[in-house]
Amino acid sequence: MQAEPQDTSSPRRSPAGVWSAFVLLGLIGLCCGVELVLLAADYGLIGTPRWRGLAYQNGAFWSGLLYNWRPNYIGQPGLMFFTYAFFHSGLGHLIGNMLTLFFLGSIVQDRVGQGWLAALYAISAIGGAVAFALLNSSPQPMVGASGALFGLAGAWQYWDWVDRRRAGRRPWVVWRTVLGLALLNVMLWMWMAGGLAWETHLGGFVSGWVGATALTRLGKG
């Protein structure tokens, strides 16, 4: 059996590059998988419509668990600071967040690689939950990847600010973007009648900015 000649006209993709794609696509796949299963249950295609409620009960962020609520299992009050980021409230919520994750995740991945992308995602998700816990005592569950996404946005804007300073350009564009994000949160909060977890967005953005600062000082960003 004759083998085809190897094409040497273009460089082969490195294992690190392949793995970095798996990290980003893995995050997207996990979020999509969870929501698609719950949607299928909602429509009676599998399981029972009770699955969504059970999933939220065990994986969403519940502020009451930090006080006098009884957890469903050992470790839930701690794990919910991370698990909430993989649940969504419906298909529209999921699609918006996943498109944003692909865009921002690609930027962060190209800058610092797959390992630090995963780390920034986790740190931002946790930071968003911490801010929500400190600033919101609502008895309603909080779900969604937007805290982590705002963290990736915070990292991106920090690096943009650094690059502009190094190039001798004015960094006002970065502050304009930050202000735009703040105004967007205000408008969405009003449109959703207070149903937007802006506290999570704020905590995620700050965590991502701080994380990118640390990486840059370590020579990683």
Domain extents in the chain: 15-217
How far apart, in whole angstroms, are the C-alpha atoms of residue 148 and residue 85?
Answer: 7
Q: Which of 9-23, 140-154, 207-221 shows the lowest mean pLDDT across its residues?
A: 9-23
Express each pLDDT in 156-197 by its tens digit: 999 999 999 988 888 888 899 999 999 999 998 888 888 899
Say how far apart CA 26 and CA 3 lie, in whole Å: 33
Does residue 17 carry a pLDDT above 90? no
CA distance to 106, 181, 185, 195, per residue, from 103 (Å): 5, 16, 19, 25
Written as one letter, the residue type at 143 is V
pLDDT digits (tens, 9 = 90+) for 196-214: 999 999 999 999 999 999 9
Say how many CA atoms lie within 13 Å of 101 toward its Cβ: 30
Residue 119, judged by CB atoms within 10 A of its CB (0-12, 13-18, 19+), counts as middle
The model's pLDDT over 57-93, given as tens digits with 9 standing for 90+, comes to 999 999 999 998 999 999 999 999 999 999 999 999 9
Architecture of the CATH domain 15-217: Up-down Bundle (1.20)
Residue 5 pLDDT: 36
Model confidence, pTM? 0.88
95-115 pLDDT per residue, tens:
999 999 999 999 999 999 999
Cα–Cα distance measured from residue 113 to residue 120, given in angstroms and rounded to the nearest whole number: 11
Question: With contact defined as beta carbons under 8 Å apart, do 144 and 198 qualify?
Answer: no
Q: What are phi and psi of 57, to 5 degrees?
A: -60, -35
